[in-house]
Every structure is written in structure tokens, then in C-alpha cells.
Amino acid sequence: MRKIPSLWIRVPLYIVIITIMLLVNLPFIWMLVTAFKHESEVFSLPPRFYPDFFDFRNFAGAMEQIPMGRYLFNSLFVALSVTLLQLVFNSFAAYGLSRLRFKGRDLIFLILVGTLMVPPEVTLVPLYIIVKNLGMIDSYRVLIIPFMSSAFGIFLLRQFFLGIPRELEEAAIIDGAGRVKIFFTIILPLSKPALWTMSLFTFIAHWNEYMWPLVSVSDPKYQMIQVGISQFVSGWETRWTYRMAASALTVVPIIIFFFFVQKQFVEGISVSGIKE
């Protein structure tokens, strides 16, 4: 049995941890406070941590200045599409790599996972030229199609599939089930945790994506939210209250979503050590 330290040690340590926690989250707290402030309150010194009254007009103001609704929809649509496509493409590839024997399989595995070593900045310029030549600039396609599969997802799912006992499939093979049937009726249902983890990572990574939509989209009709709100900064006349309201609309849904799924998410990081 380990002994529990006295209150004189525990209480200060609790205070330290809670203080750090508040400091780390202070930007979000400050964002929310500002988002509800009246324009005239923003420049008061010392800064006030509670608004005089909750002013929802900043959200309407932000939505008037930039097409927030459209941006949010685009981000949701793109991130969901990428996630769904990756579920299919990555799990197919992972199954082929973990369960089917064929010549050159190990090489294919290296080729697929080797892309982890290629950061997106390196392929940014040529990828832009390619999609430009294909006439894909300013479309949903340009935001979705290049990301239909990912090394991270394939790797994660393959590791998981390898852990599924083969005996489970052998019975089905004796019964004459084909590969496709085994994949859909045995492997996929058993892999829900891994599929879920992969989906969370993919969705959040693409919701947060900034660089690719910045270069490949200039039409606000297809622009994603991260580029959308960042354009708010360059317009110097924009009000801080509007900016914070727009940031809140971008960040708060993801934070709430994260609170619901944080367990799988954080465990996924510990297991794979990979972030997007």
C-alpha cells in the first residue's frame, strides 16, 4: 500500500494543476467572454471577465461579414466525405495487407505506409499544379479526392486486423464464404473500435485543415471554415467581438464533440502515437 500524502501537500498540488488547466484553457474562455461582449466593453481596462449583458448580436454580425454558415457547412461536408471514403479505402487496403497473401504484398505495405514520411508541404506545389490542370480548383472534389486514403488509417486498421484471430474466419471459409463476405460479416463488425478511432482522427484533422483549402480554393462558395475565419484577421477594420464570435462557432462544436469522444481519441493517440 502506498501512503497518501498529507493535505499540506495535496491541496497546493491541486491548486497548481487547476491553475495550469485554467491557464491552458484561458484563450477559449476569453474568446467566449469577448464573443458575448458589447463592442464598447471590449476596450475597457482592466479587462472584464464577465460581459455586462449577453450580446448575441456579434454572432449575427460575424455571419453578415463572412458567409459563416456556408463555410461551416462546407467543412462539415468535406470532413464527413473524407472520413467516409477513408473508412472504405483504408479498411479495404488494411484487409488486403493483413489477410490475403500475394506476391509483392510487403512492398505494397511499405509504399502505402511510406507516405507518412512525406509531409503535405512537400507535395503542396505539384499537387496544386496537378489539380489545376485537371480543372479541379474551386470545387468540393479538390478538397476531398486527394485524401480518399491515408497511411495513418491503413496502418492503424492493419494492426488491428492482425490481432483478430484467424480461427474466426476459417469456419466461414469451410462454409464456402468468399473474401468479400468474410470482410463484411466478420472483420468489419469486430473492428468497430479501430474504425471509430480512425474516423475521429480523420474528421477532426480535415475539419481543422487550413493549408490545402487556402491554396486550392478561392471561391467562397467552396471555402472551408478555417481559412474563412482567418481571413477575418487580415481585414483590420473587423471587430474583435465578431472575430471571437466566429472563432467560437468554429471551435466550440469541435470541443463539445471531443468531450464526448475523448476517451477513444486519447487512447488512440497513446496506442499509435500519431496525430494528423
Partner 1 sequence: MPFMRRRTREALAGWIFISPALVTQVLFIYFPLGWSFFVSFFRWNLIRPMRYIGFDNYTSMFTSSDFWHSLSVTFVYVAVTVPVSIFIGLLLALLVNLPWLKGKGAFRTFFYVPVITSMAAAAVIWAWIFESNVGLLNYFLSWFGIKSINWLSDPNYALVAMMIIGIWKRIGYNMVLFLAGLQVIPRTYYEAADIDGATPFKKFLSITWPLLSPTTLFVTVMQFIASFRVFVSVSVMTRGGPAQSTQVITFYLYENAFAYLKFGYAAAISVFMFVLMIIFTLIQFRFSKKRVHYL
Name residues whose C-beta falls within 8 Å of residue 238's C-beta, 6 or more positions apart in sequence: 65, 232
Map grid coordinates 500475394 to a residue: 102
- Check binding of 92 to partner 1 (CB under 8 A): yes
Q: What is the DSSP letter of 36?
A: T
C-alpha 197/C-alpha 94 separation (Å) is 15
- Check binding of 195 to partner 1 (CB under 8 A): no
Window 250-269: residues binding partner 1 (CB under 8 A):
250-251, 254-255, 258-259, 262-263, 265-266, 269
Window 130-189: residues binding partner 1 (CB under 8 A):
130, 132, 145-149, 151, 154, 179-180, 183
- Check binding of 13 to partner 1 (CB under 8 A): yes
Residue 76 Cβ, how far from partner 1 at the closest point, in Å?
A: 14
9-17, 50-58, 159-167, 189-197 -> range binding partner 1 (CB under 8 A): 9-17
The number of residues that bind partner 1 (CB under 8 A) is 98
C-alpha 76/C-alpha 208 separation (Å) is 10
25-33, 50-58, 62-70, 161-169 -> range binding partner 1 (CB under 8 A): 25-33
By C-beta, is 107 or 167 nearer to partner 1? Answer: 107
Residue 66, number of CB atoms within 10 A of its CB: 20
- CA 190, distance to chain mean position in Å, is 24
Map grid coordinates 504484398 to a residue: 105
Residue 94 Cβ, how far from partner 1 at the closest point, in Å?
A: 9
Binding residue (CB under 8 A) for partner 1 from 12, 27, 163, 193: 27
Whether the CB-CB separation of 191 and 164 falls below 8 Å is answered with yes
C-alpha 235/C-alpha 146 separation (Å) is 31
60-68, 163-171, 190-198, 242-250 -> range binding partner 1 (CB under 8 A): 242-250
Window 48-87: residues binding partner 1 (CB under 8 A):
none
Window 206-235: residues binding partner 1 (CB under 8 A):
207-208, 210-211, 214-215, 226-227, 229-230, 232-233
By C-beta, is 60 or 116 nearer to partner 1? Answer: 116
Binding residue (CB under 8 A) for partner 1 from 101, 110, 189, 237: 101
Per-residue cell: 12: 497546493
Name residues whose C-beta falls within 8 Å of residue 96's C-beta, 6 or more positions apart in sequence: 105
Largest CA distance in the chain: 77
C-alpha 255/C-alpha 250 separation (Å) is 9
